[in-house]
Every structure is written in C-alpha cells, then in structure tokens.
Amino acid sequence: MKEDQNKLSSQREEETPIPSSLWKKLIKKKWFFPAVYLAAAALILALITWYQNNNLDYALDSDELYESIGYESEGETQEGLTDEEGYLDPDALPVTGPSEEIIWPVAVGDDIQVVLGFFDDEASEEEQLNAMVQYERSFHPNQGIDFAHKDGETFDVVAALSGTVTKADKDPLVGYFVELEHENGLVTVYQGLEDVQVAEGDQVKQGELLGRAGRSIFKQDLGVHVHFQVKENGVPVNPYNFLTDMTDTEETEKEETPQAEEAAREQDDAASRQTDAQDGE
C-alpha cells in the first residue's frame, strides 16, 4: 500500500504545472531571451534546410529553363538564324529601325513662340502661376504647351510622331482637335485648330500636316494658337521632357543660315567670273 501511495504522490508531483513565480524568475534571467532567440533561429534554419532538400527535384537545368521561357538553349540550332556550322548568321538577324523622337508640331524658327507653358507640380510658384488658364471665373492648370505666331497669324500644325488618328473632331470649347496614338505608348493631342486635314483611322507620318492653328473659346485670350499635349499612360506629361529646347534649335538654324548664304554668294561669284571669261574670248 505504501508503495502505491508513493507512486501516486510522485505522479501528482510530475503532473503539477510549473508555478507562475518560477516563470517570472526564469524571464528575469539575463540568459533567458538569448536562449529563446537561439532556439528559434536553429528551428528556422532547420526548416529552411529541410525545405531546400525536399525541393531539389524541382530545380530546372539550363535547357529546361530556356524552354520554359520560350528560348532555345545555347547548344540547339536556332532555325533561320544560324549558318551550317551552328553559328549566328549576321545577315539573318532581324533588323529593327531606330525609334522616332518627338519633333515640334510647328515650324521652329518661323516667328512662332511658346505663349503658355505646362503646369508642372515641381516648378516654382511663379512658373505655376504663368501656366494657369483662366476661363470665366475659374483657373485651370495648363496640361500642355501653347504656340502662337508673334504677329497673330495662322500657321501649319504637323504630327510630332508617326501614328494613328484616334480622334479628329470639333469641341465647343477647344475648337477642332486631333489625337494621335503612337507605337511607343504615347498619345499626342493638338487642340485649337482652324481646320482638320486628317480623319479618324488615318495613318500619318511624322511631320505630316494635321491642320492650321485657330482659335478656341477656352483660351480666347491667346488668339490664334495651337495647344499641344503629350500623354503617357493616359496622363498628360510635360512635352519638354521629350522635346529639344526650341531656342537651341533656333540658334542652330541661325548659325547655319549665314554659312549657307555665304556659300551661295561664292557660287554666284564663280558663275559670274566664268561668264565674263567666256564673253572676253
């Protein structure tokens, strides 16, 4: 009987939970939390090692990798692009032409100037004020740049990039307008036109005539002008990010013009001297 009682008492002692005071004492020990962190780190490392070892069978070799992404491995022949010995044939490689760069939609240097700039969130307060459009009793940020002739005359408006005409219509506020969609994902918009020379669905080349500058109710203070927009992913962006400085282009033309005139004068003088020599004979 005594032995049975001793066994029962020992079992009760084993089943008795650890008092909370003992946990508190353990937590207060300096080595307690470092020991917990080390144990957790060891457990995580063991799990990672186990996972990697059990997934080695799913690793792709180089040939499978090329096949999975649609390419041929280096050891396989690329039909139509290699010669008889298996080397790439330069003459058979596809050739891609250089992509177009946006040009000014107006004739640069033809007494045409920017009369209203793009409203840039990062510009100075003064620049932002100068890029606001007042219509009736409200102000609107300008979402492009506006061109006008210094004498108020009309002028040609051309496509800044080759593309497809997605819109060609007349709006009661901005007048006639054209919208082009381009291969690079950009969209260009031309508003305030006097007329339209293209239709929806037309394929136009860079520099092709779209219409002539006109007037709009929305920007009637500008007189004869054209509003030019560039959209990227449907959002108007600063056209200056894609265009060269207009003043730089004008300076280049001014530098080239005197040289061309001088060369023409020299040719005329040479022709005149040759004529005089023939008359003397």
CA-only gyration radius of the chain, Å: 39
Rounded-to-integer distance, Cα 213 and Cα 173, Å? 15
Rounded-to-integer distance, Cα 191 and Cα 168, Å? 10
Percent of the chain residues past pLDDT 90, beyond the cut:
46
Most confident listed range (37-41, 194-198, 263-267): 194-198
Contact 159, 143 (CB under 8 A): no
Over 168-229, what HEC string results? EEEECCCEEEEEEECCCCEEEEEEEEEEECCCCCCEECCCCEEEEEECCCCCHHHCCEEEEE
Residue from 246, 258, 275 nearest 107 by CA: 246
Q: Mind listing the pLDDT tens digit for each residue in 183-200?
A: 888 999 999 999 999 999
Q: Are strands 132-135 and 145-149 parallel, antiparallel or unpaired?
A: unpaired
> How high does pLDDT run on average in the chain?
74
Q: Tell me, what's the pLDDT at 26?
A: 63
Task: Please give the model's pTM, rounded to 2 decimal places.
Answer: 0.56
* DSSP bridge partners of 228: 145, 190
Q: What is the mean pLDDT of residues 129-151?
A: 93
Is the alpha carbon torsion for 199, 200, 202, 204 positive or negative?
Answer: positive
Rounded-to-integer distance, Cα 180 and Cα 166, Å? 6
Contact 147, 225 (CB under 8 A): yes
Contact 168, 200 (CB under 8 A): yes
CA atoms within 13 A on the CB side of 107: 10
Tokens of 138: 């409200």
Residue from 160, 239, 142, 254 nearest 207 by CA: 160
Residues 6+ apart with CB under 8 A from 238: 118, 120, 230
256 or 44: which leads in pLDDT: 44
